[in-house]
Chains A and B, each alone.
Chain A
Amino acid sequence: MKKHLSQRWLVRGAAVFAVASLLGTTACSGGGDGAGDSEAGEDVKIGLITKTDSNPFFVKMRESAQETAEAQGAELIALAGEFDGDNEGQVAAIENLVSQGVQGIMITPNSSSGILAAIKQARDQGVLVVALDTATDPEDAVDATFATDNHAAGVAQGSWVKESLGDEDPQLVMLDGTPGGTVDTFRHDGFLEGMGLEEDSPEVRGMENTNGDQTKAQTAMENLLQRVPDVNAVYTINEPAAAGGYAAIKAAGKEDQLHMGSIDGSCTGVENVKNGVIGATVMQFPTKMAEQGVEAIVAYAADGTKPEAGFNDTGSVLITDEPVDGLESEDTTWGAENCWG
């Protein structure tokens, strides 16, 4: 009998503990009820769904969206996938936001076509959906897109590397991102265009996928250097890949024979440009994407005005302390003032 009692209490205790932990988690998370200014966006609920919530780029986007929404008196609900490629998580987030009665959703789609059905359902219920950072395929699956023209950013990186080489024959290696990624393909193709090369040009001596990850990029570059010891030009998908690549280059003592470009414009990246780790980087503006997205949704909630359909370029700026002729750029001082992360 005693045994039964203690057992019963244990199970009950466990249930109570589980419940307490639930309550605890709900209690210790600050509810985001900003005191609504009497602005245009009063009583407007806006959803933001990023790819993940661990990448500084999306963290900055989230902060900026939060600030813009607060300034307008609107409420922002920020959600994210668990990992790059988490379509299920993003679809669930869309559904839950529609359940909550948001007027608009901003999303950085993990897959440019995987979540279209969920987006369509949201739009059918009168929710304005805008894509940030990554366009959907087809583009008109959302009401508008606010993003960097990644092809143009790739061209800028490629042009800088080409001009920096001067008369040297390019011996190029490419630290790519994720194979088949929408943004990755735009940047890769844009870079080659800026260099004036083709995918199968003999000057392209090697390509490796890094998933934009510093550790993987270092390993990839170590292997590429074994194969292409005379490399003088390096493309990188983003600044972590550039940092990883540079570690391998420095270990091989080749940092003086190379011109490396990158894309992102994070504060760490700009710092690396200043320190000579990266030759030039192309800055994007996640803050602008978030601001324009929030403004579009607030306007829509106020009187049904829809934003300019299609692709709205939020711009990109080349950041380098070694400017080249014919390419507009800003130095790292300007970069440090405008960087993100």
Chain B
Amino acid sequence: MNTSTPTMAMPAQAEQRGRWSAARIVRAPLFGSLIALVVAIIIFSVLSPSFLTLANFSLILQQSVVIGTLAVAQTLIILTAGIDLSIGSIAVFGTIVLAQASGAMGPVVGLLLTLVVCVAFGAINGGLVTVLRLPPFIVTLGAFTAIVAATRLLAGSQTFPVSDPVVVFLGTSFRIGGFTTTYGVIAMLLVYIVVGYALTQTAWGKHVYAVGGNPVAARLSGVRSQRTIFTVYLLAGVIAMIAAWAALGRIPNADPNAFQNANLETITAVVIGGTSLFGGRGGVLGTLIGTLIVGVLRNGLTLAGVDNLYQNIATGILVVVAVAVDQFMRQKSTR
């Protein structure tokens, strides 16, 4: 189960250490998150008879689609030692564009326009970070504030129900054997697979880790750091568009007030998944586990009859624990 995890999670550093060993798995940042996920599943299976069913796991996946997809974008940006406080807001803006444009010009034009808009926001963020060298925290804080307001202006404070089969396609369910799931879940997993592959198997992926982990070494070894960071923000825009499409599949109504916590929830998933806020360490597999931990917690505590607020307390504790582990790991590896 966890033999294949380190390769996807730990880039070059781990591979240099050579042979696979039990000690290395235990040291992998993923190990802690994976244990937490497994233990959470065991606890909730004991607490609630309706938890450990295929139907319920299908629900957890469906409930995680939007945040889980956006968390991939957040992972990429955090790997470059940045942070994106606006990614959820970009997706919400995208849902309004998609609902309005597909109503007026058909679903294909709507999807394309949404892609253009989301990538444009990514380009603005990326441009400010790489060309003007402004801190990502400040850039995306400003973007978040402005985009939320722009979303309400664009929506005229209305909500837009959608029913076009293409626009709500990612909410369509289908069966695999005895397991019912939606195309949105498949889309989310595809985003993880594609980005995971790009990060671990391509030169671009190595560059992303390099510019986040050790910018000076990256520059000296000829990595075009600013260009790499810019592509990460563009890709985040693409992923935000996919999340917007998935959101309308799940709730076929574009609402400017939706997903207000998404920006921070993506950071939570990334951090619990073991990706370091200092950049250069972690990966999307960890983020997937982090997303599932949050989803399992919320669903499991609900089924166990526990107030949702406890879920937030547990999540908060997990975030701090995850960062504490990361800090410790960094001290070890720089000695």
Contacts and interface: CB of A to CB of B under 8 A. Distances in A.
Interface string A68-88: 000000000111101111111
Contact of A25 (B252, B253, B310): B310
Contacts of B261: 82-83, 86
B307 A29 contact: yes
A86 B329 CA distance: 37
A23 B301 CA distance: 10
Given A18-B321, A19-B36, A85 B260 contact: yes
Interface string A45-74: 000000001000000000000000000000
A201 interface: no
B59 A96 contact: yes
Nearest to A21: B317
Interface of A is mostly: helix
Interface of A: 3-4, 7-8, 10-12, 14-15, 17-19, 21-23, 25-26, 28-29, 31-32, 53, 77-80, 82-88, 91-93, 95-97, 99-101, 110-111, 113-118, 178-180
Instruction: Give the one of B48, B56, B63 with max A CB within 10 A.
Output: B63
Nearest to A8: B26
Given A85-B255, A180-B159, A22 B40 contact: yes
A121 B310 CA distance: 28
A25 B303 contact: no
Instruction: Give the one of A11, A78, A179 with max B CB within 10 A.
Output: A11
B27 interface: yes
A86 B258 contact: yes
Interface of B is mostly: helix
Interface residues of B, number: 64
Interface of B: 23, 26-27, 31-32, 35-36, 39-40, 43, 47-48, 50, 53, 55-56, 59, 62-63, 66, 152, 156-159, 161, 171, 247, 250-253, 255-261, 297-299, 301-311, 313-314, 317-318, 321-322, 324-325, 328-329, 332
A261 to B, nearest CB: 24
A117 B159 contact: no
Contact of A111 (B152, B253, B298, B302): B253
B306 A26 contact: yes
Instruction: Give the one of A10, A11, A18, A180 with max B CB within 10 A.
Output: A18
B235 to A, nearest CB: 24
A28 B158 CA distance: 41
Instruction: Give the one of A10, A21, A85, A97 with max B CB within 10 A.
Output: A21
A101 B32 CA distance: 34
29 contacts: A7-B329, A11-B32, A14-B324, A19-B43, A21-B313, A25-B301, A26-B304, A31-B304, A32-B305, A53-B308, A77-B305, A78-B307, A79-B302, A82-B260, A82-B261, A84-B257, A85-B256, A85-B258, A88-B247, A88-B250, A96-B302, A99-B53, A100-B302, A100-B303, A110-B257, A111-B257, A113-B159, A117-B251, A118-B251
